[in-house]
Amino acid sequence: MRKYFLIIALLATTHVFAQELFVYTEPASNMPTKTIGLRATQSFFKDASKGIINYHILPEVMFGINKNLMVHTEAFISNRNKALRYEGVGLYAKYRFYSQDDVHTHFRMAAFGRLSTNNSDIHQEELDINAQNSGYQLGFIATQLLHKVALSSSVSYVQAFNNGSANKFPSNQANQAINYTLSFGKLLLPKAYTNYNQTNLNVMVEVLGQQLIGNAKGYLDIAPSFQLIVHSQTRIDIGYRHQIYSNALRTAPNGFLLRVEHLLFNIL
């Protein structure tokens, strides 16, 4: 566990122009205005009880409405029932309400909300509105850019519902939670910008936690990742999420993420 916090400390003390794009969390900044983004997120998590790989794919369309507002729509598809099947949809919106900009640095704050409907079976105590549970999530994000380093943190409230009439939420489980995140990102390449066609390489470490309301259960994960940005338009994320601590039932806490995203500028 000490090695994870050493990695975080090294990143946090390196103050040198970074893009504030994270793999497992959203920053307080938004995508460019009048832009549509196409994203496909795939996750491969090992089910500890069954010894199989749970595969999820989330196709997503993103809309940059203006400099302060962006909206995402996504679908949830997984193989948890032995074959790929559609399980639900989600809607995410983020509004940036504060920005303080300076040369090579800025600080921004945003409010966000997520609403999801899901028809899969409820199989764990962890609440995951983004692929596993029906419900909503409301929260705040603060992001600081310091030259080549970006720091971001969020806190949110989660409320889960029944997953349709066939999958009632268990009465003996907590259906509310507080989520919290802390993210560090650093731009490694290019060493110096000459044009927008240069490929960027970012490295990140993110800490992701949840505390269930009504009992003492929760978890804490760490997620290192790499990110490539090609021609300032196409993004490739590769990450690994690992459980540091948990006393809540989680069927598949550890696994890989692969995401591809492409932006279509000035299309709206």
Q: What CATH code is carried by the domain that includes residue 25?
A: 2.40.160.40
- Check: CB of residue 206 under 8 Å from CB of residue 191: no
Q: What is the pLDDT of residue 82?
A: 78
DSSP 8-state code for residue 14? -
Return the beta strands (E) in 47-175 as ranges.
53-64, 69-78, 85-102, 105-118, 135-146, 149-160
Q: Which two tokens stand for residue 236?
A: 């490739």
- CA separation (Å) from 244 to 26, 156, 241, 266? 21, 20, 10, 42
pLDDT of 10 > 50? The answer is no
Which residues constitute the domain of residue 113?
A: 2-264
For strands 200-212 and 135-146, give the pairing: unpaired
Distance set, CA 14 to CA 142, 148, 187 (Å): 19, 8, 11
User: According to the model, what pLDDT value does residue 193 have?
Assistant: 78
For the chain, the distance separating the N- and C-terminal CA atoms, rounded to the nearest angstrom, is: 46
Q: Which helix (H) or strand (E) holds 259?
A: strand 255-264
Q: Is the pLDDT of residue 19 over 70?
A: no
Task: Please count the structural domains in the chain.
Answer: 1
Quick one: pLDDT at residue 181? 98
Region 125-138: what's the mean pLDDT? 97
Amino acid at 220: L
What is the 8-class DSSP label of residue 190?
-
User: What digits encode the pLDDT tens for the residues 40-81?
Assistant: 999 999 987 777 899 999 999 999 999 999 999 999 999 987
In this prediction, residue 106 carries a pLDDT of 92
Contact 250, 244 (CB under 8 A): no
Q: Is the Cβ–Cβ distance between 161 and 168 less than 8 Å?
A: no
Calculate ∠ Cα 100-104-109, nearest 5°: 30
216: DSSP letter? S
The one-letter code for the residue type at 80 is R
Model confidence over 76-98: pLDDT tens digits?
999 987 789 999 999 999 999 99
- Residue 135 and residue 126: Cα distance in Å, rounded? 13
